[in-house]
Chain A
Amino acid sequence: MRKILFISLAAVLLTACETNKAVTFVTSTNVGVDVDANTQNVNIGFARIEGVVGPVYATGEIPPVFADIQSNAKVFGAQVSQFYATGEAAVIATSQKPPEPMKQIELKGKRKTMFFGTATVTGFKAGFAGSAPRSLTLGYKRQEFSRIPIITNETDNSDVYGSVLARIELGSDATEFKKTGMRTAQLFATGYAAENLAPLARGTVIAETEKAANFIGQYADDANSQRLNAALQQDTDGTFRAELNGWIKANALNVSVTSFVNASQFAQARQRAVLQLLGN
C-alpha cells in the first residue's frame, strides 16, 4: 500500500512541477491509524513519505530542502518533533556555522505565485459522506507541501529559491519550544521570517544530531598522530588547534581535535590533514 501511495505522490509531484521552473517539496507523516476510502488507503503504525521535484544545475547543485522527524511512534501519547524548510532556511538549519546577520528585505522585481501549506491532525478525526464514514484518523497525521517558483536574478543570471519553514512539537519536552509549557507548538513562516527562525530549529537539529553522535575511539600512536601532537604542543596561542579544528569541521568530522589526533578511526583523514596543514 505504501508503494501505491509513493507512486501516487510521485505522480502528483511531477504533475505539479511539469517543468524545472519550480521546486515542489512534500512530506506526509502518519503515526497511528489512517483509513481513507477515497484513496483506498489504510495505514497502521508509522508511515512517512518525503519527496522533492526540482531542477539540477550544470554544477550538480540542487535547491536545498530539509525535513527532519523524531517520533516515539506511539498511537497514544505520541511524541513528535518535525521540521521542514526550504532555501536559505534549510541551509541555516543544517549548518554548523552561525547564520549571517539579517538581510534587508527586498520585495521587488518580477513576481510569481508560490504555495506553502501544512495540515495536522492529532487525536481522532472522521470524515463522512452522508451518514457513511469515508475517512478516519486516530493518532497523529501531518502533511507539508510547498511549491516555490525559481526566479532568475536579472543582474547575475543566478536562480533564487525562496525560504519557507514549518516546525511542530507535539507532546515532547525535548526542545526550546517546550519551555513555554505548551503540549503542542507550531511554527510556520516564509521568506526572511523563515530564515530568521531557522537558527532556533538549527540548535535543536544539531543537538539531536550530536546527541546521536557520541564518539568512542581506539587510541592510536602513528606517525601522523605524533606530528600533529608535536605541533599542538608547540602551539602556545591555540592558533594551530583552531586551524586543525576548522579542517576537521570542514571535512564533516564531528569530533574534537583530541579524538581526531589520537583515534585509530581517523588514520587516513589525519594523513590528509598533515599533508594540507603541515606539508611534507
Chain B
Amino acid sequence: MRTETLEGIPTEAQAIAIEESFRQDGATSTSRTQDADGTWTVTAIFE
C-alpha cells in the first residue's frame, strides 16, 4: 500500500476533481480535508 497526497489545492471543487482523477488512476480510497489556511489537501490510497 502507498499513499499520494496533494496539498494547497485552492478550492473544494478542485479538490473534488482531483479525488475523481485519483480514482481513475486506480486509487482504492480518497479523502479531502481543509487546512487552516483555507486550502484543501487530498490523499489517495493505492493498494
Contact = CB atoms under 8 A, between A and B. Distances in A.
Contacts of B6: 217-219, 258-259, 262-263
A247 B26 CA distance: 17
Interface in A203-230: 210-211, 213-219, 221
Interface string B13-30: 010001001101111000
B8 interface: yes
Interface residues of B, number: 21
Majority SS at the chain A contact face = mixed
A79 B31 CA distance: 34
B24 to A, nearest CB: 6
A214 B1 CA distance: 9
B47 to A, nearest CB: 11
B44 A258 contact: yes
Given A211-B2, A217-B5, A256 B10 contact: no
The interface centre, meaning the residue of B10, B18, B21 with most chain A CB atoms within 10 A of its CB, is B21
Given A211-B1, A213-B2, A214-B2, A256 B7 contact: no
Contacts of A259: 4, 6
A213 B4 CA distance: 9
B21 A215 contact: no
The interface centre, meaning the residue of B1, B25, B44, B46 with most chain A CB atoms within 10 A of its CB, is B25
A214 B25 contact: no
A251 B24 CA distance: 21
Contact of B21 (A219, A221, A232): A232
Contacts of A77: none
Interface residues of A, number: 22
Contacts of A262: 6, 18, 21
A255 interface: yes
Lowest 10 CB-CB distances: which A-B pairs, in order? A256-B25, A258-B21, A219-B8, A215-B4, A216-B5, A219-B9, A210-B2, A214-B3, A258-B22, A259-B4
Interface of B: 1-10, 14, 18, 21-22, 24-27, 39, 44, 46
Interface of A: 210-211, 213-219, 221, 232, 238, 241, 245, 255-259, 261-263
Given A213-B2, A215-B2, A219-B9, 6 more contacts: A216-B4, A217-B5, A219-B8, A256-B46, A257-B21, A258-B25
11 contacts: A211-B1, A214-B2, A214-B3, A214-B5, A217-B7, A218-B7, A219-B8, A219-B14, A256-B25, A256-B44, A258-B4
